[in-house]
Amino acid sequence: MKKIYKFEVECVGCGQRKAYGDSYYHYIVKNLCDIDYADSVIKNFCTGFLRKAYEPEHMPSPFHGKITSFKKLSDRTWEYKTEEMYTG
């Protein structure tokens, strides 16, 4: 079985907010497919493909990216934010 996923991704912001600070990433993800995917499918796309990150309680180590926000903004649009610890 073949599936085609179509997402539009906008990087709203990324970088460090201060010198020697943690890196942050902020994305807006829109589902452009005919199929209305569950939130879990969109979250798997974000965490597995867009920017690898984990829920804070499931992080393998403090140096992995952590999800700071994943929420649905509208019917087919989500916001995804992550942070990664500064390692100097």
Residue with tokens 């879990």: 40
Alpha helices in 1-88 (DSSP H): 39-45
Residue 32 CA to residue 75 CA, distance in Å, equals 11
pLDDT tens digit string along 11-65?
Answer: 999 999 999 999 999 999 999 998 899 999 999 999 999 999 999 999 999 899 9
Instruction: State residue 84's pLDDT score.
Output: 95
Residue 12 lies in a domain: yes
Residue with tokens 């393998």: 60
**Domain at 40, CATH number:** 3.30.70
Residue 53 lies in a domain: yes
Mapping DSSP to helix (H, G, I), strand (E, B) and coil, where does residue 44 land?
A: helix
Residue 76 lies in a domain: yes
Is the entire prediction scored with pTM above 0.85?
A: yes
Q: How many domains does the chain have?
A: 1
Instruction: State residue 66's pLDDT score.
Output: 97
Residue 24 lies in a domain: yes
Instruction: State residue 18's pLDDT score.
Output: 93
Which range of residues forms the domain containing residue 64?
A: 7-84
